Structure 1
Amino acid sequence: MGATRGTARAVGAAAAVAVLAGCSTPPAPAPAPGPTAAVRPAKPRQAPPGGPSADGPPPAAPSASAGETCPAGGVRVRQRGGDSAMGVRILAVELVNCSAGPYELEGHPQIRLLDKKRTPIEAEVRHGSGGIAGGVPNMDGPAERLVLQPGRTASFGMLWRNLVTDPSVPAAEGWAVEVTPKPGAPTVTAELTDSVDLGNTGRLGVSAWAEDTG
């Protein structure tokens, strides 16, 4: 009888251990260490001056027409071409009516040459060939009244000799020309790809405005 009770207790204890073993779960892992300070939202990075934002797409490139904005005076000027022979130079400057209405011209433009540093060059500007060279076509034509419609062009020519007559006088070389198309009009500037190399003659002939018919 005593042995039977002892056996029963042993069986009951074993069953209890088995039940506890089946119902128990493994211990949870230790939590990760928390932050030692409050987390602040990250600020967007500042782009360097003139550069795109680091947090967004770069700005769109300017269109090709951005540099063709019509100046306040309603016209643009630019070099159109040049020629040289026997020390005589000719360079044409074109004016474009970029305004929405007609633009009137008459006579000769007022011009001033600028060197590479954009310093004005002292030069005597003469109407026509001005005795600089003879027999040059279109330089001594009559001054006429022109009315340019929007988009139309007119031009004038510059004539000079590339001579150095006095070695003690520095040679002048113009790389831009300021043009006042008519009295009272705003001045516009044309950059030159071919220089006006006056030497030290100090003389420049300018033709009257002529409308381009092409």
Structure 2
Amino acid sequence: MKARWLTLIAVTVVAGCGTTPAHPTGPAAARPDVSFATTTPAPSPSDAVVPTPACLAPGVALSVGEVDAAMGLRAVGLTLRNCGTATYTVNGYPAVDVLGADRSVLDVAVLDGTSNVATIERYDVPPRRVDVPPGGTAVAVLVWRNLTTDAATVAKGAYLSVAPAKGQPRHTLTLMVDPGNTGKLAVSPWTTPVAGQ
């Protein structure tokens, strides 16, 4: 009898270990992979010239990574490279507009702070000053959800118009953006890249 009770207790303990979900759900648990543009493109097998971002005043080049699409949540990395000769300082959010195929500005709101769409812990932070040395980089993340309930009001972007901050020269970056009917995207502030970015 005692052996049967010990066996029952052991089975109950083991079964209880599996009651916590391995992958929590909900906005606070969203952790999509974020892709950033590589600073040094891999050589092409055909030795074709690989275009690089233009260095615009005041000495920065902006680029965009590849969109990660996880369960309707999209995330993509923006990279600012200091291509000038002096330290460049950012303190805040990129200025972003979504453009259509004809490069007209679409009616899509770009909100400051990724928590307006989903919480991404690494980038859901307040703005702070980032000093970017010549050749150095700063990064930000753009997120949105693809939700379509009315085909007549679906927004489809083909480009991003991005400036390091409001009032600065803008860069036009090719990127397919599909916020559907949500009418919004969210962007993180500029921050220092983690190792490997």
Query: What's the TM-score, normalizing by structure 2?
Result: 0.67
- In 2, Cα distance between the equivalents of 1:68 and 1:191? 11
Kept in 2, the 8 Å contact 1:116–1:174? The answer is: yes
Per-residue CA deviations over 1:27-55 (Å, capped at 9, x if unaligned) read: xxxxxxxxxxxxxxxxxxxxxxxxxxxxx
- 2:134: which partner in 1? 150
**2:191 is equivalent to residue 207 of structure 1:** no
Question: CA RMSD of the aligned region, Å?
Answer: 2.2
**2:66 is equivalent to residue 85 of structure 1:** no
- Matches of residues 8-87 of structure 1 in structure 2 within 5 Å? 64=49, 69-87=54-72
Alignment partner for residue 125 of structure 2, among 141, 148, 151?
141
In structure 2, stretches of 5+ residues that fail to align are: 1-47
Alignment partner for residue 186 of structure 1, among 161, 169, 174?
169
How far did 1:131 drift?
3.4
- In 2, Cα distance between the equivalents of 1:64 and 1:167? 40
- In 2, Cα distance between the equivalents of 1:189 and 1:140? 25
- 2:27: which partner in 1? none
Per-residue CA deviations over 1:63-83 (Å, capped at 9, x if unaligned) read: 958865522331111112331
Kept in 1, the 8 Å contact 2:76–2:143? The answer is: yes
% of aligned pairs identical?
34
Task: Sort the Cα spacing of 1:179 and 1:69 in 2 relative to 1 into closer, same or farther, 3 A.
Answer: closer
Kept in 2, the 8 Å contact 1:138–1:207? The answer is: no
Alignment partner for residue 99 of structure 2, among 108, 111, 114?
114
- 2:40: which partner in 1? none
In structure 1, stretches of 5+ residues that fail to align are: 1-62
- In 2, Cα distance between the equivalents of 1:203 and 1:177? 13
CA radius of gyration, larger in: 1
